[in-house]
Structure 1
Amino acid sequence: MGETSLKHILTRSIKLADQITKASNEVIHFKSECLELQTKTIKLGELIRQAARASNNLYEKPTRRIINDTQQVLEKALILINKCKTRSLFKRIFTLVPNSAFRKIITQLDNSLGNVTWILRATITRNDDIEDSKISYLGLPPIAANEPILCLIWEQVANLSSEERTDAASSLVSLANDNQRYRKMIVEEGGVGPLLKLAKEAGNPKGQENAIRCIGVLGCDEESVETIIDSGVCSIFCKLLKDDGVIMKVKAMVAWAISELVYNYPQCKDDFMQFNVIRVLVNHLAFETIEEHNKYAIVERNKMQAINQIQQNMHMTNLISDNMRLIINENNYIQNHQDQEVKVEMKAMAARALWYLAKGNTSICSSITESRALLCFATLLQNGQDDVKYNSAMAILEITNVAEKNTDLRQIAFKPTSPATKAVKEQLLNVVTNSNNAKILLPCIKSLGNLARIFRAKDTTRIIESLVRLIVDENEIEVTFEVVTALIKFACSNNYLHVVHSKSIIQAICVKNLIKLVYFGEQMLRIPALKLLCYLGQNAPDSEAFTQEDVLTPLEWAKEQDYFMQHPQIGDLLFKATSILELYQLRVPRL
């Protein structure tokens, strides 16, 4: 059977209150106590009737909980009243009623009065038919004594439909940030619907921002995010991103919230795709980034030109004083600076959303690469601020991760001759060559490795030299690990040009550095260094560098180390490499 309707529960409680009122007039014993009980029940019945009249607008979660508790109190009160009606001496002996029973019930009725009054106050700002003059209870309800956080959440969710909704959303963000339990409670207690309503509220950007932030934080709870998606958040967020009436700061928060929801519930990617979120995010990414996306840039440029023209006219006709011009220029500077910060934030969050959307999803990666997004990422990787650069680098990384495993996507999206591919390659290489920021450097190294199979022979010399230099310069362990891993993708047999690439790696003076890593490197570096050394030995066994560095010695040593031989594939690689090297090395007399 389905859940009992709220109206039915309210009706049942009203009937119980009426029964108690009527039965109180028929009592024989404890008349004064019953009269007090009757008085409180009458007040409680009036409040429940008010709730019933407003039942369509009541905050259902706490109302259902409070009215269920109230109904249990009324049932106990009716049993107590009925005991006081009997005239039979026999029944009186076996139905003794202690004074403490009345005190307990009256206390519970007082609590119920407070609880029902609170739920009415939570509704009063939305309903003109509630008799405000009869409601005097302030603060949290008595039920809060047992579950204070739950009732605090109730109060803030209720306030989302009042004049205090902006502050209420901010309070819920604070609670949601505290721990997972609070996030789950906010979702379970019906907070998502009012938050989405506030997120759509035009003319209240601060409220929108707080509500969207709260939804994004709630999305961190894996158990709740599905409920959030089912509430229609994908459609609402996409509309907010498209709406020209929504300020950029709010849109940036929407993009951030999308990235959080997608990260915690990847299944929702298809829901966002249905509303063309990729195209909208790419448009925001392209705004003032590349000339192809001039829709917004033209509007903004025309606006600034109009303002400048007005100011010039005013200057020429001496309509304003020098001081006034100074004030206007200063205000324009401040506003332009703030606008620029918001634009940067929008790009960073749009790139972040595309990064998480692209992760492991071939269709989304195809949609992104079919747009001008790759060119945008390349441009932002060159000119963007740190957050924009990092998120762009991570978006490229996720797309190349998918392209590495998907031949069709790789061949279509990363054609060596396409302007976007060239731009991405150049900016990745630029970061690898010039950046000291490991946070941005690491994804760029990985992306070059993922794209190892698209580069032509004439392209790879610069790339390989730049990667090898990072090993020679003895960078951070993580950087060295990713460089060696990327070079393996150039030298492994899956790469059609593995022989050419291997010779380039050897020519870049990498052999002695690899031998050093095999012998003395950190644990996480030794296996990939040995793998790369084996691939180089297989692909270019006649290299003079192998003879000079006596590569066979470390390879033979590695065969005797359990650490290496227990690792999958190492045994086969060592056997093939040493077998081939022994043939070629014997042709050259050792000094």
Structure 2
Amino acid sequence: MASTEEEKPIDQVLLYPIQLSDRIREVANNAATFHAECTEVGNQTNRINYMLRSVVRFSGSMYERPVRRIAADVSKNLKRALTLVRKCRRRNILRRVVTIVTRADFLKIRSLLEASIGDMIWLLSIFDYDEGGGSIELSLPSIASNDPVLAWVWSFIAAIQFGPLSDRIEAATELASLAQDNDRNKKVIAEEGGVVPLLKLLNHASPPDAQIAAATALVHLANSQERVCLIVEELDIQILVQVLEESPMRVQIWVANLVARLAEQNHSLTAIYRMQNVIRPLVTLLSRNSFVDVRIDKDIEMNSKSNQRRDLSSLSSSSYSKHSSQGGNRKRERDGDNPVVEHKLKISCAEALWMLVSNSKALDCFEDIRILTETKALLCLATLIAKEPGELQFNCLMVIMEITAAAESVDNLRTAFRTNYQATKAVVDQLLRVIKELDMPSLQLPAIRSIGSLARTFPSRETRVISPLVERLSHANQDVATEAAISLGKFTCPENFVCSVQSKAIIEFDGVPPLMRLLRSGGRPQIHGLILLCYLAMHAGDSEALEDARVLTALEGAHRTAAAQHSKLKELLPQAIHRLEIYRAGAHPHIQSYGR
């Protein structure tokens, strides 16, 4: 099977139009009619032939996309020229009558060849850096006259590959600007091979301005799974690690943003495993100039049960020391940055960790989360939640929410949240502070979900987490009230071995009245309110608070409505009603118990 044009070596792609132009010159020199016109076509062809051979000089280090497109277009025009000049060879009278050639035909061919000459001049202009003639060429070759973006993209990519440093930075900045405009430009940049040169420019050995320009362009490109997969395929993760460890903070901000976008859009298990290497430098940057008690690492070591866990903890400690003690010009430049830049860096690092952890949880790939629970990351996150309001606080809460959600279902992760661990205490304290003191649903929601995810880690004596959740059942924001009911449901569900104690605590904290009010909202609040009421009835059915609030009547009414069709309530409602009937019959012997 013949190779497609895209699969042919570039030398073969250029050889074909060169051979065509050689043949045209030979035929034009022997023309019997329209000799002057054929001579002019031959002269144009000579120019094209010379420029094609000049392009061959760059074949060892060439940006091939425009070469292939222009060579194909030039070949098409040369074939039409060859067909025309062949008609002017010496023929018999009959052939001359049948094959009619006019000057208009030559005018059209000359116009096409002139366009090809313009394309070739443009093509040479974007490659000829060694001769001092190369530059970012913003003129339009005729082949891209209907799509100027294509010509600009070709110019910028070529400049990044072969231009001097100043041109590479300018070209990457221009690609970033184009990518920011619309998705069509992003698609053109990716299809025309812009990803690989941008990744090379991102290398930690490049100057900071070059790294920022490349990272900015890649961030704008990374807004679709298709383009992110292309970036990840070509990406050397170690480059990101080195940039996060060694580059100035203004570079690290954009690289952390890139990590966040790659993790957000990419759903490849292999890519997630590769991205694990960036977690430690992200945590190191997040804890920069923040008070983080080093005893947490010792605490983890003392409570770990495997050599692997101890090795991870030691590696974290040594890695942190290494990054904290790095010297040289880059460190001095980082230290010279102002607190505003450092704050932006932490926002970006926290978002990157959030996206990495969220993606890992979705793929049931918990290694990223385990690394975070076995380093000083939890204590760092708690410290930032306490000290840094705004976007950074929100991002840190989202990281905690994702980590605790994973720990809820994975025993090995849940053990990292034992309540006697310093990091766990710090995290829980901050989550409760957010729930109680910050009346902002955007912050309260992840905090409430996190406490609910940790429900099975709290012993029976740890009832201090119950009261703030009960208070939120009365919140004006229905999402907050509903989330509080969901979290309390995790404290009272049968899977929680202290469910009875926690159920009684909820009732003691006067949780029944706001819960009954929540039922009147209908929809999602009603469903989760009913589930929590069922658990309370099953584990504390003898409570007078339940009887005073007429919970049995409410559950019997719900049992006859559409709410009972909820899969969980189908099972819970009959059990809860039966339990309340038993206690009611015991307290009032004259009342027949349910089911008799």
Q: TM-score range by the shorter chain?
A: 0.7 to 0.9
CA separation in 1, counterparts of 2:409 and 2:493? 15
Look up the equivalent residue of 1:37 and give its one-letter code.
Answer: V
Question: CA deviation digits over 1:205-224, x for unaligned, max 9?
Answer: 23311211211221212112
Q: Structure 1 stretches (4+) deviating beyond 4 angstroms?
A: 135-138, 293-300, 335-338
Look up the equivalent residue of 1:83 and give its one-letter code.
Answer: K
Aligned match of 1:465 = 467
Question: CA deviation digits over 1:162-197, x for unaligned, max 9?
Answer: 333323222222322333332222111110122112
CA separation in 2, counterparts of 1:138 and 1:555? 73
- Report the Cα offset of residue 202 of structure 1: 4.5
Correspondence for 1:363 among 358, 364, 367: 367
Structure 1 unpaired stretches of 5+: 308-331
Q: Is the 8 A contact 1:184 1:221 kept in 2?
A: no
Q: Is the 8 A contact 1:287 1:294 kept in 2?
A: no
- Report the Cα offset of residue 393 of structure 1: 0.8
Q: Does 1:347 align with 2:350?
A: no
CA separation in 2, counterparts of 1:157 and 1:579? 73
- Report the Cα offset of residue 537 of structure 1: 0.7
Q: Does 1:416 align with 2:419?
A: yes
Aligned match of 2:233 = 230
- Report the Cα offset of residue 296 of structure 1: 5.8
Give SS of 2:456's match: coil
Q: Is the 8 A contact 1:180 1:221 kept in 2?
A: no
Q: Is the 8 A contact 1:172 1:214 kept in 2?
A: yes
Look up the equivalent residue of 1:539 and give its one-letter code.
Answer: H
Look up the equivalent residue of 1:61 and give its one-letter code.
Answer: R
Give SS of 1:256's match: helix
Aligned match of 1:152 = 152
Aligned pairs (5 A) from 1:44-193: 44-125=48-129, 127-128=130-131, 132=133, 139-161=139-161, 162=163, 163-193=166-196
Aligned pairs (5 A) from 1:91-490: 91-125=95-129, 127-128=130-131, 132=133, 139-161=139-161, 162=163, 163-200=166-203, 202=205, 204-243=207-246, 246-267=247-268, 268-273=271-276, 276-289=277-290, 290-292=292-294, 293=320, 339-359=338-358, 360=361, 361-411=365-415, 413-459=416-462, 461-472=463-474, 474-490=475-491
Cα–Cα, structure 1 residues 371 and 336, in superposed 2: closer, same or farther, change >3 Å? closer
CA separation in 2, counterparts of 1:436 and 1:107? 72
CA separation in 2, counterparts of 1:18 and 1:510? 92
Question: CA deviation digits over 1:347-389, x for unaligned, max 9?
Answer: 2222211112122131111111111111111111111242221
- Report the Cα offset of residue 295 of structure 1: 5.5
Give SS of 2:507's match: helix
Q: Is the 8 A contact 1:115 1:142 kept in 2?
A: yes
- Aligned residues, how many? 548
Aligned match of 1:527 = 527
Give SS of 2:386's match: helix
Give SS of 1:266's match: coil
Aligned match of 2:578 = 579
TM-score by length of 2: 0.87
- Report the Cα offset of residue 146 of structure 1: 2.7
Look up the equivalent residue of 2:221 and give its one-letter code.
Answer: L
CA separation in 1, counterparts of 2:278 and 2:230? 20
Q: Is the 8 A contact 1:344 1:385 kept in 2?
A: no
Cα–Cα, structure 1 residues 203 and 215, in superposed 2: closer, same or farther, change >3 Å? closer
Question: CA deviation digits over 1:499-526, x for unaligned, max 9?
Answer: 11111111121212122221x2152211
Aligned match of 1:560 = 560
CA separation in 2, counterparts of 1:64 and 1:238? 36
Give SS of 1:211's match: helix
Look up the equivalent residue of 1:222 and give its one-letter code.
Answer: Q
Give SS of 2:458's match: coil
Look up the equivalent residue of 1:280 and give its one-letter code.
Answer: P
